[in-house]
Structure 1
Amino acid sequence: MAYPAMNNPTTRELLADLVHFDTVSSHSNLAMIDYIQRYLARYAVESQLIHDDSGSKANLLAVIGPQHIPGIVLSGHTDVVPVAGQQWSSDPFTLTERDGRLYGRGSADMKSWLAAVLALVPRLTATPLRLPVWLAFSYDEEVGCKGVHGLLHQLDGLPVLPAACIVGEPTEMRPVTGHKGKIAMRCTVTGHASHSAYTPQGVNAIEYAVQVMQQLMALAQQLQQQQNLAFYPPFSTLQTGLIQGGKALNIVPDHCQFDFEIRTLPGTDAQQRVDEVIAWSHRQLLPQMQAIAPHCAIHFTRLSHYPALQTRSAAMIDSLLALLPPPQNLQTVAYGTEGGLFQQHGVPTLVCGPGAMAQGHKADEFVSLEQLEQCDAFLLRLWQWLQAGSFT
């Protein structure tokens, strides 16, 4: 892809290029990562790629400024959700302007943030910075925050950890200091098939799976007892989202699989609660199943996991908040981000970016021009502050 003709492209121009790349999580993001890497090289910014095991995806990590002192991470994910089955008014991979809005897949979630950060690079490299800026762009956030772990491993190896991180998920440029965590699990029940006329000779995997789900439903009720009114809903939630099982009505099914998730308040140990259900199913259900057919089993597999975010008080966080326009309106959200993982690794984190999450993940996703302007203005203030940076 050719670069815009001007030396220093605008956020909008960069966003048009980034939207053009089909980085749906099931696809490779390497073409877009290569574009970003070549763009950074134009400003003499070296970048490091951290590939996944298949080599078809990569994180990008780069630093601008001195590396021996703590700085700020500007973080975002490169992948987007699918467009299949959605009715778009225009090509989802071509940025289209209508009525002060820019439409395209990822325009809100979250390529507008990536574009704004890249548009700031010429300024960041034009003048000496007292504090470094780390660019951390990940893959596979939309399928469970999987790619960012490679980035965090690299940050863990630095002589000095960054002092703060901004994850630019769409928050309408309002700082988010808390969100729920999530654990996604798969339960696979192996029963024993038989003709439905002789059901006692079989082990019905669907019916045993239902009993596990009933236990999960009871756990969901228990989770509602612990509430935090800073969140909506104000309690941890649990739901089953997918189920598969059975081959024909006249065959006792020997297989059933279902996926469930728990979205937890900060301070709630989701894995402990899952372990309680696992122990119950092995104690209560397995003996009944294996009394008929010893090969029967119930297996649980963790699909993805990320921790909740509860931003710690820190001098750098306070300084970043002061750069945002008043009123700051600190808020929490129910959805998750990579922010909890950065904080878990010792980097105090804010979530703040252009656009609204309500516009993401659906047809005709958009970001408003006003939101882009607000983001550019914030990053300009950040650049000015970094030139005279201080932790106090």
Structure 2
Amino acid sequence: MVASVAKALFERGKIDFVVCFSPSRAVSQSVSTTFSRILGKSFNGQIGAAGGSYTYQSMATLPKDLWRVLSDHRVLVVLDEIHHCSGSNSDDLALGNSWGRTILERIQGHASFTIALSGTPWRTDNTPIALARYTQPDGELHCDYEYGLQRAVLDGVCRAPNIVLTDNREIHLKSSELGLKTYSSIRDTIKQGHISYPDFLYRNEVIDHTLSEASKKLLEIREQVPAAAGLVVAATVAHAEQIADRLSALGERPVVVTCRTPEAHQIINNFRTSCDRWIISVGMISEGTDIPRLQVCCHLSRIRTELHFRQVLGRILRRQAGEPPEVGGWLYVLAESSLTEFARRINDDLPEQNVVSFSPRSSKQNEDDASEYAVFAEDDEATEWGFSIDATGTWLSGPGQTGQKETTELSMSNHYWSEILSLFEDRIV
């Protein structure tokens, strides 16, 4: 859209150049490619180009000559994902970060035109977004133009989202001191403080169920869209490797990209146009990354903010030309309380597409079988519950448990969870 605006401004003789800023190299490269295609000119920041695309990180090292262009020529400045840049025109500079202060000092009042964009127009730290206007006294963000999900779906620009909340209706925790504790959901289990949200993410049973359901959906979609692909957002590098192993067991050959992956951006670019089915990412494919063939996503990240949730969902909603209109985007996520609330807010954005259903995944296990298995809890509860699991999913022994007894107990504990966590159900929002 912004590239089309830039083209119209060039044709009307309103601007001489375009300068774009965005939060990552991957997005910056995508911006450059799009502007070059729409404008029909190079967009590499060199002589003869229509402009250039840069990251916010590069602002501190850009040559003075580039900033002088804003004052000496008619320039359109595009600020993508502006919520990364905080600051206001008040005297309190502490309200802003370095990117926001640079925008206020070097771009505001110097550029002929400025377009600031965000798919998630708020900051989790509640500081003001640079260049944004807020109503008084309630502090609501005022947007000059808003294009929401409902209209985008109606216009055929975005796919309709389907959010599958995976829960477990019978979870047992047992200790010699507290006896057997039974919980009817992931949310209730976490609320008691003995098991954390990451503990669920690292369990093979949880990973296998989520991947199995997502893989079935992807295969179904590929019958209509052969190049459709799936994304898994992992918590850590070790977690990504664990997920890759589980996907490989399903006969897949996933691509993995993390901050440690050499040439990660090139791998992402290759995946964008390949026929590979799955890519697993740790912090590399979130906001702004444009891979329209992504249509299924497993959200297995430890990050539980609404901003991140919506950014991840956005990766699977970019419709491709000629795509069947009934094919939607599918997000699989655990039914943790915050994530469930974020899903329902997405549902509120699309009142005409309110669909909630329950689908039990297995019959109830014999309750008597649970009594013979050992259980674990978080490390800080090890003295109370006997066993713990650390942030990488590695089993740790509790007090006084060593040697052969430890090995036996851990094996039993894994068996216990395999039995209990087979009682999955999916709620489709």
TM-score grouping bracket, smaller chain normalisation: under 0.3
Q: Does 1 or 2 have the higher relative contact order (CA < 8 Å, sep 6+)?
A: 1
Q: Which has the higher strand share?
A: 1
Q: Which has the higher helix share?
A: 2
TM-score by length of 2: 0.22
TM-score by length of 1: 0.24
